[in-house]
Amino acid sequence: MGDQTAPRRTPQVGHHRQQPLDSALPLARTEARAEPDLAHVPAQPCPPSWAVDLLTLTTLTFKTLYVLVFIAHGRRELVHVNVTANPTAAWVWRQIIEATPWGQEPRHLLRDRDAVYGHDFRRRARRIGIDAIATPIHAPKAKACASNCSSWVRWDAKS
């Protein structure tokens, strides 16, 4: 009853799945990695690009509501959502002001060519530092990120 230690197990060379360790294999080299060049990294990240879309929603009483959705493209997160029965250019502009508090505006705002935005939308957006980009004519997938929100809104209306 002495202090006996178990003998070390050695891998069996004859086994078809195990291979013996070869001491002749070179070890992984640990080279000093070069420091990244931080001169080309911008001081602040670029402001995000947003997409805006006006979706229609039919209620149980067959009333049509309009949902204005702002989505940030970077992480596809909802920035601002609001609903109205009568969308006007003034109401849409008010939603943009509410979606961009204290200078949190995007660099680019991708929108469709709907008349609800008004004829001076681009000029007004430039005044607050937003480049409003209209989607190309007959390009239904140009705002695919914002257009997919219609399924979210319809799903929420059912529940």
Q: What is the pLDDT of residues 53-91, one digit of tens each?
A: 999 999 999 999 999 999 988 878 899 999 999 999 999
**pLDDT above 70: residue 31:** no
**pLDDT above 60: residue 106:** yes
CA angle centred on 65, ends 62 and 66, rounded to 5°: 150
Mean pLDDT confidence for 7-32: 54
CATH fourth-level superfamily of 49-158 = Ribonuclease H-like superfamily/Ribonuclease H (3.30.420.10)
**pLDDT above 70: residue 104:** yes
User: Could you tell me the residue ranges of all domains in the chain?
Assistant: 49-158
Cα–Cα distance, 148 to 159 (Å, whole number): 18
pLDDT exceeding 90 applies to what percent of the chain? 35
In the three-class reduction of DSSP (H, G, I as helix; E, B as strand; rest coil), residue 127 is classed as helix
The predicted pLDDT at position 135 comes to: 87
Cα–Cα distance, 51 to 112 (Å, whole number): 9
**pLDDT above 70: residue 159:** no
| Token reading at 5 | 């230690």
The DSSP string of 1-44 is: ----PPPPP---TTSSS--PPPTTSPPPP-PPPPPP-GGGS-SS
Strands of the sheet containing 131-134, edge to edge, are 77-84, 64-72, 49-58, 108-111, 131-134
